Structure 1
Amino acid sequence: MADENVQSFMIGDVEVLRVVEWRGPYAPVRDLVPGVGPEVWRDDRETLVPDHCEPGSDRAVVAVQTWVLRSAGRTVLVDTGVGNGRERPGNALFHQRQGDFPGRLAQAGVRREDVDVVVNTHIHGDHVGWNTHDVEGSWVPAFPNATYLLPAADDHHFGPDGGYGGGVRPDDRLIYEDSIAPVHKSGQALLWDGEHRIDEHLTLESTPGHTPGSSVLRVTSGGERAVFVGDLLHSPVQILHPECSSCFCLDPRQAATSRRRVLEHAVAEGELLIPAHFGGSGVVEVRRSGDALTFARWAP
């Protein structure tokens, strides 16, 4: 595929399509991952610039994207981005955003009615936005035939029973009401906890910390392995320093524990690592270097 916003590769028998909704400079690196010192960004500059850090500035480069998996005869979406026309007063970059994400899905050969499963790795606004779309002033599921897999712990925390995230971030109520509640109303939501097998190749696993229900999706097929890690990683510097959580993690210490566990598993099992927001190559292999972790190779 010629468009840099739509790319494809294989994990065994599972076809993976990367569909980018938005990519560009975001928050200052010192704000995005506060525990990482400036020397890390400086010493690894050749690796981080320009794909993960903007040249000439200190802003991290990130992507918002959806991964489309064709597995066992079904089409599975992993996270659904920001969406169009959303009220997000707490995030000027995504407030009332308008983009052509549906067109990019169509370019990748994905029709909305053909999507069988939607996975939300967690309930943050840049992972659930295209769960729904506006039809005559009402939010309705964008994928009419899909089952939406939602982490039960997140659904409780960000839903009305949890006070919409305890009212800490006003956008959380808006996110739940326009992107999650309509899926419940339509009867398409399926809550899960702990572990959930989608098919013989795909398994969801809870990795709490970033949010109470944050999860990863493991893929095993044809002797190949990968793990879609959602927001356990916002930047490659967290591979070098897994003890450092992003500014968005609700429980930074628990997030660090989950991150270390997933990274160690990836090294031991030879899993490719596929984070939600890496601005350059979306796929990286991790290896051990002494007592530390580092990048083995970036996928093309």
Structure 2
Amino acid sequence: MTAAFQVGSARIMRIPELHWDNADPQKLYPDIDAEALAVFGSALTSGSFNPVTGTLSQGTHAWLVQVAGLNLLIDTATGNDKPLPAAPALDHLHTPFLEHLAAAGVQPEQVNVVLHTHIHADHVGWNTRLHHGKWVPTFPKARHIFSAIEARYGASNDRIDPAPDLPPEILGRPDHRPLPRVYADSMLPVIEAGLGETIIIDGQEVLAGFSFHPTPGHSIDHASIRLRSDGAEAWFTGDVMHHPLQVYRPDLRSVYCEFVQPAERSRRWFLEEAADTGSLCFTSHFAETGAGYVRRRAAGFAWEFA
């Protein structure tokens, strides 16, 4: 059973999907230099970096938040059976994710709200499941809250509804576009079932205690989600960072970031915010507990697992 964290009156548990120990730093971070791990490898814990093989550990997971009588999921990982040939590690998965959710005491129909940091394959996949050859909502009683811009861009990417005004010029030219079929398979069935709710990412509270803050770059309208409960604060980071190494080297962009320079600006903003507030951070891809704190060090930031 995954350990539970307490933030005010909110109880938070990691719902695991995948874990791997063989991530190649040069593939994950195309601009990495030899100095990055030579200098900061010793600061990384053994559950995140193997100095013998030189590989990184990561995972995919969702976060279950139980507060005020509600069961909320922050993102929904990759899902089973999703056709993702461009991402072989995620293609046609068969994982016991729902069994892990049940072990935390929650069945799919008991999920009240799903909050999405962004619409990428490994963050929205369990929104739907395959039933008699058709994608249907996995959480049939849940409000699914997500960026209106992310949804429009996803629909355009899947050639469902064009959005010629996207991406906005302020983000610059995208390094690449999102994977195809993610919106069609994992978002559209939820929307057609009347379970989707689009929002503007502007820092406003969208649900008691929860607010979406703009951290664009990794995706077109990526958000980091802040939780405030009984005087305590936590952040759900989304993909502002993919590994603790980026806490030490925020200049490193992941291969998955769509808009490279905005992604770095968002990462640096978030690190300042997290360090200043001392808030507990719930990440999307860090291994080990997946949660921890950003600490200040003499020339930047450090990561401390909770």
Q: Structure 2 length as normaliser, TM-score? A: 0.89
In the aligned structure 1, how far is the partner of 2:189 from the partner of 2:294?
Answer: 39
Q: Is it true that 1:234 corresponds to 2:237 in the alignment?
A: no
Residue of structure 1 equivalent to 2:207 = 199
SS in 2 for 1:230: coil
- Return the letter of the residue paired with 2:117: T
In structure 1, what is the equivalent of residue 259 of structure 2? 251
Describe how 1:112-261 pairs up with structure 2 within 5 A.
Answer: 112-160=108-156, 161-162=162-163, 172-195=179-202, 196-261=204-269
Residues 105-155 of structure 1 show CA distances to partners (whole Å, capped at 9, x for unaligned) of 000001111111111211111111100011111101100000111111211
Select 2:77's aligned residue among 77, 81, 87: 81
Q: Name the counterpart of 1:298.
A: 305
Given candidates 66, 69, 83, the residue that maps to 1:70 is 66
Give the counterpart of 1:39 among 28, 35, 38: 35
Counterparts of 1:265-284 in structure 2 under 5 Å?
Answer: 265-284=273-292
Equivalent-residue separation in structure 1 for 2:197 and 2:22 (angstroms): 33
Larger CA deviation: 105-114 vs 18-27:
18-27
* d(CA) in 1 for partners of 2:187, 2:266: 25
Q: C-alpha root-mean-square deviation of aligned residues, in Å?
A: 2.0
3-state SS of paired residue (1:66): strand
In the other structure, the counterpart of 1:286 is 294
Pairwise CA distance, 1:26: 4.8
> Are 2:40 and 2:248, in contact at CA under 8 Å, matched by a contact in 1?
no
Unaligned stretches of 5+ residues in structure 2: 157-161, 168-173
Question: Are the equivalent residues in 1 in contact too, given 2:219–2:257 (CA < 8 A)?
Answer: yes
Q: How far has the Cα of 1:93 moved from its partner?
A: 1.3
Query: How many corresponding residue pairs?
Result: 292
Identity %: 30
2:192 alignment partner AA: K
Residue 193 of structure 1 aligns with an amino acid whose one-letter code is I
Deviates more, 1:40-49 or 1:140-149: 40-49
Segments ≥4 residues shifted beyond 6 Å = 163-166
Distance verdict in 2 for CA 1:236–1:17, change over 3 Å: same
Q: Give yes or no for contact 1:140–1:183 (8 Å, CA) kept in 2.
A: yes
- The CA deviation at 1:228 is 0.8
Which stretch shows the higher mean deviation, 192-201 or 68-77? 192-201
Q: Distance in 1 between matches of 2:29 and 2:163?
A: 27
Equivalents in 1 of 2:31, 2:230: separation in Å? 39
Where 1:191 maps in the other structure, the secondary structure is strand
Q: Secondary structure at the match of 2:118?
A: coil
Q: Is the 8 A contact 2:86 2:179 kept in 1?
A: no
* 1:173 to partner: Cα distance: 2.6
Provide the C-alpha distance between the structure 2 equivalents of 1:222 and 1:37, rounded to a whole number of angstroms. 43
CA contact (8 A) 1:72 1:200 kept: no
